[in-house]
């Protein structure tokens, strides 16, 4: 693996962890839609790092979701629950960012934080 690729993967992992920290801060301030956005991006950045590690790429968010499903969920490297979490977060982020008069609530969002932490940990293990 070349130096540039390693640096890019490391950068994406750092971005994932920063996004999770941001999500937790937003949750503490009851900013639920913004928190969902950051939870999704935490996962997206980590999945991007995983795809690059395996010489896979995507030009879109939905393509990233498809690549994750094909190469990691369907092969059993990641659980179906992780695949569903990523898909659900992608949809939720769209609703929260672009849906008119749509607001997430505390119960819904706080229930996502631990699964996202587990998702990031499990994918980071696959990267290393």
pTM: 0.94
pLDDT value for 100:
78
Could you state, in order of their start, the residue ranges of all structural domains in the chain? 3-127
Cβ atoms within 10 A of the Cβ of 120, count? Answer: 21
pLDDT value for 34:
95
Residue pair 46/20 in contact by the 8 Å Cβ criterion = no
pLDDT value for 57:
87
Q: Which long-range contacts (CB under 8 A, 24 or more apart) does 63-69 make?
A: 65/90
The fold adopted by the segment(s) 3-127 is 1.20.120
pLDDT along the chain (128 residues), means of 10: 89 98 97 96 97 92 93 95 96 87 91 97 94
Which residues are CB-contacts of 69 (< 8 A; sequence separation ≥ 6)? Answer: 83, 87
pLDDT value for 97:
83
Rounded-to-integer distance, Cα 70 and Cα 39, Å: 22
Rounded-to-integer distance, Cα 47 and Cα 124, Å: 9
pLDDT value for 64:
93
3-state helix, strand, coil in the chain (%, to 5): 80, 0, 20
pLDDT value for 41:
97
């Amino acid at each position: 693996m070349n130096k540039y690729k390693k640096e890019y993967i490391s950068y994406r992992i750092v971005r994932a962890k920063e996004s999770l920290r941001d999500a937790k801060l937003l949750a503490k301030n009851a900013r639920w839609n913004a928190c969902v956005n950051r939870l999704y991006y935490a996962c997206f950045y980590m999945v991007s790092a995983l795809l690059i590690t395996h010489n896979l790429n995507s030009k879109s968010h939905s393509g990233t979701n498809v690549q994750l499903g094909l190469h990691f969920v369907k092969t059993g490297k990641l659980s179906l629950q992780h695949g569903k979490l990523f898909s659900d977060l992608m949809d939720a982020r769209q609703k929260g960012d672009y849906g008119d008069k749509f607001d997430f609530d505390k119960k819904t969002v706080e229930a996502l934080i631990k699964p996202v932490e587990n998702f990031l940990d499990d994918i980071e293990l696959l990267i290393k």
